[in-house]
Chain A
Amino acid sequence: RKEVEQDPGPFNVPEGATVAFNCTYSNSASQSFFWYRQDCRKEPKLLMSVYSSGNEDGRFTAQLNRASQYISLLIRDSKLSDSATYLCVVNRGQGGKLIFGQGTELSVKP
């Protein structure tokens, strides 16, 4: 079993749709959590950190449930430019090691 698991993709949605990505992690000692976005043939870029209290950045909302070891990302009013692979990332806190999920590909269509 992978340490960080994500919904399999791809997700194909129309513009304006709301889409939710789920992620689970197996190491209960994990300390911090992130969503990264990776465009085709580009490096991953930090989308947002994820906190237990939940956090929102415009159309993006991230949630963390430590008890269930579950992380989510909600994208409202999808834009064509949201098309990318979304990576769920966990920091174990041991020397800064990041563990990446396999990524979920999102394709937003006109």
Chain B
Amino acid sequence: SAVISQKPSRDICQRGTSLTIQCQVDSQVTMMFWYRQQPGQSLTLIATANQGSEATYESGFVIDKFPISRPNLTFSTLTVSNMSPEDSSIYLCSVAPGTDTQYFGPGTRLTVL
């Protein structure tokens, strides 16, 4: 498995602003992912964060709204841009340390007013 931390753990933001979420892993991993879990819903993949190249986004998610960085094999950031109340969600990063199993960070609980 892997030990994953996320910052911030929660935030309350005003609409129109942006928030950058950080994900740190205790070991080098090739694959990192960002998910969203809206209230009362299950998880939906936003994008795969690729080291050294642009992220791969799922249908319905675009780079302008959710820019992602992956500067090295232990760290990634997800920015939620120009936020609206509909972006209120839990955002989770996950890693796949060499197998098809994924392990999740503790999540960032975002509330947009």
Contacts and interface: CB of A to CB of B under 8 A. Distances in A.
Contact of A98 (B56, B102, B107): B102
| Chain B interface helix/strand/loop/mixed | strand
B100 A31 contact: yes
A97 B48 contact: yes
14 contacts: A31-B100, A32-B100, A34-B101, A42-B106, A43-B104, A43-B105, A43-B107, A45-B104, A96-B31, A97-B48, A100-B42, A100-B44, A102-B42, A103-B42
Contacts of A44: 43, 92, 104
A49 B101 contact: yes
Interface in B22-56: 31, 33, 41-45, 48, 56
A34 B43 CA distance: 14
Contacts of B45: 97-98
> Chain A interface: which size bin?
20 to 34
Contact of B56 (A32, A45, A95, A101): A95
A82 to B, nearest CB: 19
Interface of A: 31-32, 34, 41-46, 49, 87, 91, 93, 95-98, 100-103
B33 A96 contact: yes
A102 B44 CA distance: 10
A101 B100 CA distance: 17
A40 to B, nearest CB: 12
A2 to B, nearest CB: 9
Contacts of B1: 46
Contacts of B101: 34, 46, 49
A22 to B, nearest CB: 16
